[in-house]
Amino acid sequence: MAHRNTIQLVGISFLLAFALSLGVSCTRLRKTEEESVVQDWFDKSFARCGTDHFARYENDYVEIYLNKYGSSSKKTLVEFKNLTYELEVRPVTSTERLNGVESKSEVVLKYSQFRYHDGSKWSPWQDITIVFKGEMMKALNDLLERPNSPLYVGPEKSKGKWTGFPSYWTKVSCAELPALD
């Protein structure tokens, strides 16, 4: 009888431990508000067509470098291989809280290669970091202590509203893509 109670106790303990581990796993699957907001921006800015992501870069004021030879553009279609993002929640200072800041994060988009469409053909694949062109942009981003990159996002929630998402990446329709040769 004692042996059967011990087996039942071990079985109950195992089931309880298993159930708790499932609960922890399910909790990890729930997205935070920051993760949901960033994922929403990402999905609205970059189209997934096949295995790659596509977006149009369009900025009337700032060009981006597109290759190691210095080619740049204010408007171009870009194809990314293995595009993902990394989200890091940053601490909010007491001064920022007094000014209404509730949350802030840094998001860096990462890719293995990219290429761009020049209006008539696709460029060769590149594995360089896309950065803003010009010393003024580099100095400004150094001053703000952030990367000199159009693939950096600084979302912030202040007074209940999220800001800090750039509008220079525009999602394109997969149907309107030029031939992918």
Share of the chain above pLDDT 90, in %: 70
Token digits of residue 14: 């195992």
Q: Is the pLDDT of residue 25 over 70?
A: no
Convert 26-56 to b/e letters by CB count within 10 Å (16 or more is b). Answer: eeeeeeeebeebbeebbeebbbeeeebbbbb
- C-alpha 116/C-alpha 121 separation (Å) is 8
- The domain segmentation of the chain, as residue ranges, is 1-30, 32-175
Distance from C-alpha of 104 to C-alpha of 146, rounded to nearest angstrom: 14
pLDDT per position as a tens digit, 46-92: 999 999 999 999 999 999 999 988 899 999 999 999 999 999 999 99
The C-alpha atoms of residue 42 and residue 40 are separated, in whole angstroms, by: 5
Residue 82 CA to residue 74 CA, distance in Å, equals: 23
Query: CA 103 to CA 157: how far, in whole Å?
Result: 5
For residues 63 and 74, is the Cβ–Cβ distance under 8 A? Answer: yes
pLDDT, tens only, 83-130: 999 999 999 999 999 999 999 999 999 999 999 998 999 999 999 999
Please determine, for residue 24, whether its predicted confidence score (pLDDT) is greater than 70.
no
For the segment 140-149, the average pLDDT, to the nearest whole number, is 82
| Alpha carbons 57 and 50: distance in angstroms, whole number | 20
pLDDT at 9: 46
CA distances from 26 to 19, 21, 83 (A): 10, 9, 26
